[in-house]
Structure formats: C-alpha cells, structure tokens
Amino acid sequence: MRILVTGAAGFLGSHLCDRLLAEGHSVVGMDNFITGNPNNLAHLAGNQDFSFIRHDVSNFIFVPGKLDAVLHFASPASPNPNSPFGYVNLPIQTMKAGALGTHNTLGIARTHQARFLLASTSEIYGDPLEHPQTESYWGHVDPIGTRSVYDEAKRFAEALTMAYHRFHDINTRIVRIFNTYGPRMHIDDGRVVPNFLKQALCGDPLTIYGDGSQTRAFCYVDDLIEGIYRLLLSDEHMPVNIGNPVETSILEFAQLINDVVGNQAGIIFKEGQRGEGDPQRRQPDISKARNILGWEPKIDLETGLERTIPYFKEKLGLA
Ligand code: NAD
Ligand code: UDP
C-alpha cells in the first residue's frame, strides 16, 4: 500500500512509519512540527519508499499520486498545562487538528477510496465512571473544561469518521489509544513518563500531582504499533481499545521508576498542578482486541522502561 501518515514526526507517528516501511509499504509522512521533531524521521532520509510533506492538516490537503490508506495521528497529545507542548496551551490548534484535520484527512481518503484509520484516545471516556473501560461505554466528559479541547475534538473526530463510513461508505477504523510510552517521546511535553524519567535520571525527586492514587495503564510503543497494524489490516469499523490492561497507581509507577533508575531522591507531592479533570482511574478492557485481532501486549512495564531509558539518557546528554 501507499500510505499517508499525519503526525509522522511525532512519537507514535514516527514508529508507525517505521513499521509500515518494514512491512514493505510506501509511506508519505505529513507534519507541521508543532509538537513533533524532524529528528524522529532523520533515519529515513534517503529511503526511496518514504517521502515527507510539511503541512498543517487543518488546511486542505493535497498529496500527489495514489493513496491506499490514510492514518490520521496529527494532534498535540499531552494534557500538561505546565508544558508549552501540552494541548491546554495549544487549545485552538488541538481543536482544529481533531476537527478540521479529521475532515481533511477523511476527504482525502474519500478522494482516493483509501482506507482510513483515526488515532483516537482513552480521553474520550473522560474521567470514567465505569471501570475498566469497554468500547461500549459512552464516557463521562466535561465539555468545557481545559481538557475539553482534546476530548471533544477526538469525540467529534470519531463521530465524523463514523459519518463518512455510514454515509460515504469509507473503509474506516478507529483506535482508542491508552497511555503509551517509549523512545521518541518529547522530553519536555510534560507527560508522566518523560517527566519522571527526566527527573529520575537527573537525580531529582519525582513530582506526583495530587496524592498519586490516580491510576493509568502503560503500554510500550512496540505493542501498541502491533495492535494498530493488525487493526489496519482487519475489517473492524467500530472503535477498538489498544493499551496495556495492567493498572498502576501513579505512586507505584513513581516508585518503580526510582527503583529501575536507582534514583535516591524520592518523591514530592504537588497539589493543583494538573488543574481540573485529571482522570482518577483508567484501564482498558482489551477483550475486543484479543478476540478480533488476536492481540495483547507482550512487554511488561519494567522491560519497557529499560528499553526507553537509553533514549532519555541520550537526550539529557547522559549517555
Ligand atoms: P506527538 O505530539 O509526539 O505527535 C503528534 C504529531 O502531530 C506531532 O509530530 C505534531 O507536530 C503533529 N501535529 C499536530 N498538529 C498538527 C497539524 N495541525 N498538522 C500537522 N501535524 C500536526 O504525540 P503522540 O503521542 O505521538 O500522539 C499521536 C496521536 O496519538 C495523537 O493523535 C494522539 O491524540 C494519539 N494518542 C496518543 C497517546 C499516547 O499515549 N501517546 C494516547 C492516546 C492518543
Ligand atoms: N503526573 C504526575 N506528575 C507529572 C506528570 C503527570 O503525577 O510530573 C500524573 C498526572 O496528574 C496524571 C498521570 O500522571 O494523573 C498521567 O499523566 P499524563 O500527562 O502522562 O497523561 P494523562 O494520562 O493524564 O492523559
């Protein structure tokens, strides 16, 4: 296939490009570098099967030549209001990437009669009242809070994707991605993995927002990409959760990182850092992915962290 990947210079987009190329596809990457980094694609320079277009997906998209698939991953993704790369500080761009960007990428999929895959998120469940979250749960979302720019844009994106599927018969997929980590995350984007690894590797205390009882379930990037690739090749049009179902409190996670890195500086608790709407519990029910894709994650948290640490050491000049 010849595949357009938007958000290609980001964390997930760049790994996706690598996987698609390794499977023998040809890839057109697109990005405007708002939260991504061209270095994430530097190793593809000179690859005959890869080309790149610098473009904001909120504007009309033109790609020369035939496309067989469009994978829409372009969007700021960090909720951290302390980071310039967090979507709280890029609110209009985030809404435009999720709304106009999804419209434009669906439009190009329609023009080419290409299959389409939307990168959605566990955030569409909001601060969930059902636990773990299955795909049939409608969510508990604040439509006007600071996180709403991301959550509502992704909910709109899902609705628009289903509309194109039902009305225009576009061959669509929706992946609901849960917290994923690994090399090429933006070191300053303020998400918990970059923050904690940076702090631990520098010998600083880890900053827990709140009391650390909130939970997440962390998936290593290679596992996630495997699930997304299987979904792309499947015939499933309804949303599918892809994530690691092992639920961990942020306190346990901080302790694990300090142990793995050997950081003696401990933990400090910071109130009011995240603002409203920090989800209290999050855990994917992946029964659907297991049943229809035969997929489940293989890499445990400790192994994934060990594979991620060398990248952060290099970025921090500690390698
Ligand atoms: P990222 O910030 O590393 O990558 C996003 C990429 O999109 C960046 O390279 C950025 O420059 C690009 N981008 C943003 N707006 C754009 C625009 N208007 N035009 C062109 N390019 C644009 O984040 P990520 O973690 O790789 O996330 C990728 C996708 O996966 C996002 O859609 C995000 O919502 C989704 N997702 C990620 C996670 C996760 O844990 N990493 C979880 C849920 C959903
Ligand atoms: N968090 C934290 N310290 C940090 C960064 C994040 O305690 O330095 C917490 C944050 O409040 C949230 C969890 O870690 O409860 C995961 O945050 P992240 O930004 O990675 O993404 P989210 O899962 O909230 O979308």
Q: What is the pLDDT of residues 208-239, one digit of tens each?
A: 999 999 999 999 999 999 999 999 999 999 99
With a 6 A CB cut-off, is 80 part of the ligand 1 pocket?
Answer: no
Looking at ligand 2, which residue's alpha carbon is closest to its atom 16?
Answer: 192
**Which whole number is the average pLDDT over 58-78?**
97
Phi, psi dihedrals of residue 240, rounded to the nearest 5°? -130, 125
With a 6 A CB cut-off, is 282 part of the ligand 1 pocket?
Answer: no
- Active-site residue identified among 150, 164, 181, 229: 150
Q: Given this model, what pLDDT does residue 275 score?
A: 67
Residue 11, pLDDT > 70, answer yes
**Which whole number is the average pLDDT over 272-280?**
82
Share of the chain above pLDDT 70, in %: 100
Assign 20 a pLDDT band (cuts: 50, 70, 90). very high
With a 6 A CB cut-off, is 83 part of the ligand 2 pocket?
Answer: no
Find all residues with CB under 8 Å of 86, minimum gap 6, and list them: 76, 78, 79, 80, 189, 190
Residue 8, pLDDT > 70, answer yes
Residue 276, pLDDT > 80, answer no
Amino acid occupying residue 96: K
Assign 319 a pLDDT band (cuts: 50, 70, 90). confident
Contact 122, 63 (CB under 8 A): no
Q: Give, for ligand 1, the residue of 75, 108, 222 to mutate: max count of ligand atoms closer than 8 Å to Cβ.
A: 75
Residue 70, pLDDT > 70, answer yes
Residue 274, pLDDT > 80, answer no
164 is catalytic: no
Q: Given this model, what pLDDT does residue 85 score?
A: 94
Find all residues with CB under 8 Å of 22, minimum gap 6, and list them: none
What is the number of the ligand 2 atom nearest to the C-alpha of 123? 25
With a 6 A CB cut-off, is 250 part of the ligand 2 pocket?
Answer: yes
| Crossing angle between the packed helical segments 148-168 and 100-112, to the nearest 10 degrees | 20
**Which whole number is the average pLDDT over 259-280?**
90
Q: Given this model, what pLDDT does residue 273 score?
A: 78
What is the number of the ligand 2 atom nearest to the C-alpha of 208? 7
Residue 317, pLDDT > 90, answer yes
With a 6 A CB cut-off, is 86 part of the ligand 2 pocket?
Answer: no
Q: What is the pLDDT of residues 162-220, one digit of tens each?
A: 999 999 999 999 999 999 999 999 999 999 999 999 999 999 999 999 999 999 999 99
Q: Take residue 309 and report the two structure tokens written for it.
A: 């640490």
Q: Given this model, what pLDDT does residue 226 score?
A: 98
CA–CA distance, 29 with 13 (Å, rounded to integer): 8
What is the number of the ligand 1 atom nearest to the C-alpha of 72? 32
Q: Rg of the Cα trace of the chain?
A: 19
With a 6 A CB cut-off, is 58 part of the ligand 1 pocket?
Answer: yes
Q: What is the pLDDT of residues 120-171, one digit of tens each?
A: 999 999 999 999 999 999 999 999 999 999 999 999 999 999 999 999 999 9
Rounded to the nearest angstrom, the distance between the alpha carbon of 262 and the centre of ligand 1 is 31
Q: Give, for ligand 1, the residue of 4, 5, 11 to mutate: max count of ligand atoms closer than 8 Å to Cβ.
A: 11
Q: Which ligand is nearest to the CA of 276?
A: 2
Q: Give, for ligand 2, the residue of 209, 244, 251, 269 to mutate: max count of ligand atoms closer than 8 Å to Cβ.
A: 209
